[in-house]
Amino acid sequence: MLSFLRVSDLALVEGVEVDFRGGLNVLSGETGAGKTVLIGAIGLLLGDRADTTMVRTGAEEAVLEASFDLSACPAAASELAALGYIEEGSEELTIGRRLSREGKGRCTVNGRLCPVSALTEIGNLLVEVHGQNAHQALLKQSSHMAYLDRHAGAEHQAVLSDYQKEYRLLLSLQSERSSARAAGGVDVDREVELLTHEIAEIETADPQDDELLELESRASKLRHAAELFELASRAEGALSAGEQASASVRDLLSGASADLSRMSERDQAVRPLRERVESLALEAEDAAAELGRYRESLETDPELLLEVEARLSLLRELCRKYGGNLEAVSAYRERAEARLAEVSALAHRSGAIEKEIAAARATLEGLAGKLSANRRASAEELERAVTSEMAGLELSGASFLVSVADREKDGGDEGAGRFGPSGRDEVEFLFSPEPGEPPRPLRKIASGGEMSRVMLAMKIVLAGADMLPVLVFDEVDAGIGGETATNVGQKLYELTPYHQVFCVTHQPQIASFADWQYGVFKDKGDGPTSTGVKLLEGEDRVTEMCRMMGDSTGRKVTAEHARDILERAGKLKKTITAGAGPTPAETD
């Protein structure tokens, strides 16, 4: 429940702090005293759009704060904990909002900064405001099915739960099928064929990492074998003349070495030079021998050259197609093998998915049929119950209708078709204000007071199923009076075993049912007029009831009438309580 509200520098409100309790809380006061400002403050704390003009004249910012006691709302507390707004097991939530005249704002949840959207999310779990500035869930057709489903009862909810599980399964299977198609390509068979060919091509060639360089060297040697033979022979001849008449490099070095040997006998300083020349002679002889062996190893086989050239051409083509070098070709083969395994598995899985999708659709069809039958039966009961409740709220000529129609197919074969998240139905609440008037969508009703009373009737019917802890009614008494106002007060009180209820009213008959009545008044003081709030008890409440009845003179007869209204309402409340169990007000 909403346990505390603080409002500073918002419109007429300079500074107000109010402690609220369970049960029926009524706000009363003169027109323009600021009752709507307080309701607006609750709306702002629940994420309503803010305006800089809302900040009180002369102030820099408006400050709003509210605390909620969640001890009697375990379901809401659990959801808030799941969303991370409170700790598991916590029973208190505080939200705050600052509105700056400069247009900047700040929102907090339990002291932590948060976006405005967080306040909206919290508000959707805790509070529903009905009236001129509403969070009016009944105005949203998207919420109508949920109301009807709650009215349909626990067995229907179990079927709905089974349907939703199967619906999520269908979406999951369809997503898996889409992924399989995207991963496998449009033509899986063609990709399998291509991958198989590429892998076979690389495996058949069986390239080795260093093979390309080795083959290029060998091919060059084969292409120029004759030239290499001639050059090797000439070089060998220069180093070692063999049978030639002319002296070779080796002979000349040997002669120079003999001369240097004789010189060293006479001059020891020449010995190092002699050793160098001897070494050169030996090197020349060794080089000549190696050139001879090289010359003899040269191949001049044209057929072998053709084989090497063909192998080179094959490897170069593989490099061109699969990555630029042989290492990349090997890496591509590994990826292709992995992809082939994946695509083959997906192709096999696709056939199984189609069967599972068909089975899921068949199951959904059966569950959707049960949901539709339950909803149509429940719709008739809801129509009768709400229309009956409206009769006591000065809407006796009005009628409430529930349209349950087949959902139009969308999404084609790739989507869920006519299956939606909650079945194949589309639900909308219709309203006819008087006999002969064609029913129209509830969201198109113009009268705020009429709308609030329809909602009140709905809340009475759905009270036990509606999980929102706090209900706020503004303008619920618009255009009514007398016995109807008494009926409205009674209906509001009947909600208190299930909700904490707030009502802004000018009707003393409604106010008489309050567990706690708060007077909202203008405090003129010495400065600008501001709004004040006071819990009314004893004679203060009698005085306020007299004012609401149009007599603030303090006449005894009016006061007696006020006391009589309060006494009669008190007796009726006890009767209601005896039949419904203790109210939150009595347990405070």
Q: What is the pLDDT of residue 182?
A: 66
Contact 399, 391 (CB under 8 A): no
Residue 339 confidence class, pLDDT cut points 50, 70, 90 = confident
Q: What mean pLDDT comes out for the span 139-152?
A: 85
Q: What mean pLDDT comes out for the span 362-367?
A: 94
Q: What is the pLDDT of residue 582?
A: 42
Q: What is the pLDDT of residue 501?
A: 93
Q: What is the pLDDT of residue 324?
A: 79
Q: What mean pLDDT comes out for the span 216-235?
A: 70
C-alpha dihedral sign at 439, 442, 445, 447: positive
Q: What is the pLDDT of residue 464?
A: 66
Q: What mean pLDDT comes out for the span 287-301?
A: 76
Q: What mean pLDDT comes out for the span 319-331?
A: 84
Residue 222 confidence class, pLDDT cut points 50, 70, 90 = confident
Residue 466 pLDDT > 90: no
- Tell me the C-alpha distance between 166 and 175, whole Å: 14
Share of the chain above pLDDT 90, in %: 33
Q: What is the pLDDT of residue 136?
A: 57
Check residues 481 and 539 and name the one with the higher pLDDT. 539
Cα–Cα distances (Å) from 429 to 135, 156, 371, 404, in that order, read 17, 19, 18, 9
- Tell me the C-alpha distance between 117 and 100, whole Å: 18
Residue environment code for 211-227, b if the CB has 16+ CB neighbours within 10 A, otherwise e:
ebeebeebbeebeebee
Instruction: Summarize pLDDT for 68-123 with one digit per residue, the tens.
Output: 999 988 888 999 999 899 998 899 999 999 999 888 889 999 999 999 999 999 99
Question: What angle do helix axes 539-548 and 556-580 make, rounded to 10 degrees?
Answer: 100
Q: What mean pLDDT comes out for the span 362-375?
A: 94
Q: What is the pLDDT of residue 544?
A: 94
Strand order through the sheet with 425-432: 399-406, 425-432, 440-441
Counted residue by residue, the chain has a size of 588
Q: What is the pLDDT of residue 537?
A: 93
Q: What is the pLDDT of residue 135?
A: 46
Q: What is the pLDDT of residue 513?
A: 96
Q: What is the pLDDT of residue 183?
A: 58
Residue 493 pLDDT > 90: yes
Q: What is the pLDDT of residue 527?
A: 64
Residue 331 pLDDT > 90: no
Mean of the per-residue pLDDT values of the chain: 83
pTM for this structure?
0.62
Q: What is the pLDDT of residue 36?
A: 84
- Stretch (H or E) spanning 203: helix 188-205
Q: What is the pLDDT of residue 337?
A: 87
Contact 540, 519 (CB under 8 A): yes
Q: What is the pLDDT of residue 33?
A: 82
- Stretch (H or E) spanning 15: strand 13-19
Residue 425 pLDDT > 50: yes
Q: What is the pLDDT of residue 580?
A: 56
List the beta strands (DSSP E) in 29-187: 61-69, 92-100, 105-109, 112-114, 127-130
Check residues 131 and 10 and name the one with the higher pLDDT. 10
CA-nearest of 322, 20, 49, 89 to 197 is: 322
Check residues 204 and 363 and name the one with the higher pLDDT. 363
Residue 267 confidence class, pLDDT cut points 50, 70, 90 = confident
Residue 245 pLDDT > 60: no
Check residues 244 and 145 and name the one with the higher pLDDT. 145
Instruction: Summarize pLDDT for 523-547 with one digit per residue, the tens.
Output: 776 666 678 899 999 999 999 999 9
Cα–Cα distances (Å) from 428 to 260, 410, 442, 450, in that order, read 122, 19, 8, 18
